[in-house]
């Protein structure tokens, strides 16, 4: 690859000597100016696949950035991923004159407006905050030559499709665009058609491919015993980093407090945390000051901490692809890792969907697979309970209605009695 010397030196310094499969296939197309549509899982080196060619173009044709302008724009679905991308690119172009900016929600927009006033070479942004800045005329994209949509499928899952289309109206038609996604549903193809022009297709791993060095297992457990089982398993590796996934932000916070009471060094990240809180938690986890991080799927993609040895799916994800993204947080950079899943009777359908997408059965560590009839019976009981509650609410409402009607009748009777007395 014909790259600037400074870029090659920086890559060597940070330990990148040979390209990964996605980099080997995508970078030559991007260096040639082609649009690129890439299908690859997280942890395959996608950031370098799009960042290296953009950096090479900007270093070879350096221009002083204009006020409020960005020469390259990279859109990411979450704050954590945006921050990681910006940090990686800074390491690629260190000691150069290129300026790397980042704008995400959860922090002061006034500070971001001030920084953008001088312009930036590469801007990494989340869609929501970028639109806030565009609406305030704090950033101009009319001179943006490079656009990247990273983890495009997750951006669609988070409801950013309208935001992306709005951002597109601010961009020049003549630009180079790269779109990377871990999955390729129909909506991604439609998005690609509207953003890309005659793209080169690059695919390096099928959806659902799990890293070879991840040791997977599943524990069949009743819901009431999940906390106890987790505490027991975590206590067996106190000195190793563990990432625990919960389905909801409330569940993540509640679980974090439970583990803290049990004596573990733990923190949590989810949508209810401020950007500062999330960054402090990640920094402490990365340094090993805390050993356990409880998270929602905001940490399922892009989180690159090579020392994470264990990933727990405390709750199985509703979207089976997210299981692959979650456990991809371990066994990074060729190391080994463990992925431990918990499965209650209500989660059997989720487990079956996960096993279907990864193409194999997950070995059982404890408990027995829930029988389909038990699962069906449990759901029937829930439905019956729901109907019973609904009936009771209706019955109570009818009783209240009758009481109200009775009171009204009594009041009206008193009024008529009063009127008769007055007439007499």
- pLDDT of 372: 57
Indicate which CATH number applies to the domain containing 290: 3.40.50.300
Q: Which H or E element spans position 319? A: none
pLDDT of residue 418: 47
Beta bridge partners of 149: 75, 179
Write down which residue in 162, 182, 203 finishes a domain.
203
Cα 326 to chain centroid, rounded? 9
Task: Tell me, yes or no, whether 401 lies in a domain.
Answer: no
- Running along the chain, 424 residues long, what does each successive block of 10 average in pLDDT? 93 93 96 95 85 97 93 95 95 97 94 96 98 97 97 89 95 97 86 95 78 92 97 96 96 97 96 88 95 92 86 95 90 84 96 94 95 57 61 60 55 51 42
Residue 423 has a pLDDT of 42
Tell whether 367 is covered by a domain.
yes
Question: pTM (2 decimals)?
Answer: 0.75
Query: Domain limits at 144?
Result: 5-203
Residue 420 in any domain: the answer is no
Same domain, 319 and 189: no
CA distance 279 to 297: 16
Are both 174 and 70 inside the same structural domain?
yes
Report the run of H or E that residue 154 belongs to, with start and end.
Answer: helix 152-157
Are both 274 and 301 inside the same structural domain?
yes
- Please give the pLDDT value at position 373: 46
Confidence (pLDDT) at 374:
59
d(CA 363, CA 147): 42
Asked if 253 and 170 sit in the same domain, the reply is no
Q: Does a structural domain hold residue 176?
A: yes
Claim to verify: residue 36 and residue 183 sit in the same structural domain: yes
Same domain, 336 and 254: yes
Do residues 77 and 192 both lie within one domain? yes
């Amino acid at each position: 690859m014909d790259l600037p010397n400074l870029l090659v030196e920086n890559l060597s310094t940070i330990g990148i000597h040979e390209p990964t499969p996605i980099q080997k296939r995508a970078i030559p197309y991007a260096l040639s100016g082609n649009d690129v549509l890439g299908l690859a899982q997280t942890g395959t080196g996608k950031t370098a696949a799009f960042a290296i060619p953009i950096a090479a173009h900007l270093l070879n044709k350096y221009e002083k950035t204009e006020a409020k302008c960005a020469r390259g724009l990279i859109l990411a679905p979450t704050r954590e991923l945006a921050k990681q991308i910006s940090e990686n690119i800074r390491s690629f172009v260190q000691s150069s004159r290129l300026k790397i900016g980042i704008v995400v929600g959860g922090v002061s927009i006034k500070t971001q407006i001030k920084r953008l006033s001088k312009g930036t070479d590469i801007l990494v942004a989340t869609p929501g905050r970028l639109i806030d800045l565009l609406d305030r005329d704090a950033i101009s994209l009319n001179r943006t030559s490079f656009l990247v949509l990273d983890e495009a499928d997750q951006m669609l899952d988070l409801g950013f499709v309208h935001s992306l289309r709005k951002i597109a109206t601010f961009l020049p038609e003549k630009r180079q665009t790269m779109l990377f996604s871990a999955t390729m549903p129909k909506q991604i193809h439609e998005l690609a058609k509207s953003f890309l022009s005659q793209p080169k297709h690059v695919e390096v791993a099928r959806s659902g491919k799990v890293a070879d060095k991840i040791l997977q297992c599943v524990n069949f457990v009743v819901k009431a015993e999940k906390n106890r089982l987790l505490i027991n398993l975590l206590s067996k590796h106190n000195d190793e980093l563990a990432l625990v996934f919960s389905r909801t932000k409330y569940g993540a916070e509640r679980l974090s407090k439970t583990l803290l009471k049990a004596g573990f060094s733990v923190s949590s990240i989810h949508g209810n945390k401020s950007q500062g809180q999330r960054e402090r938690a990640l920094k402490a986890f990365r340094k090993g000051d805390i050993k356990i991080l409880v998270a929602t799927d905001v940490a399922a993609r892009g989180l690159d901490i090579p020392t994470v040895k264990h990933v727990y799916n405390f709750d199985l994800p509703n979207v089976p692809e997210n299981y692959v993204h979650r456990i991809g947080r371990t066994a990074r950079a060729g190391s080994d890792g463990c992925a431990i899943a918990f499965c209650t009777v209500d989660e059997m359908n989720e487990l079956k969907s996960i096993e279907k997408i990864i193409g194999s059965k997950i070995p059982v560590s404890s408990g027995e697979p829930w029988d389909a009839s038990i699962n069906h019976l449990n759901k029937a009981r829930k439905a019956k309970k729901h109907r019973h509650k609904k009936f009771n609410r209706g019955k109570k409402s009818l009783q209240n209605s009758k009481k109200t009607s009775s009171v009204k009748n009594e009041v009206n009777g008193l009024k008529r009695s009063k009127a008769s007395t007055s007439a007499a």
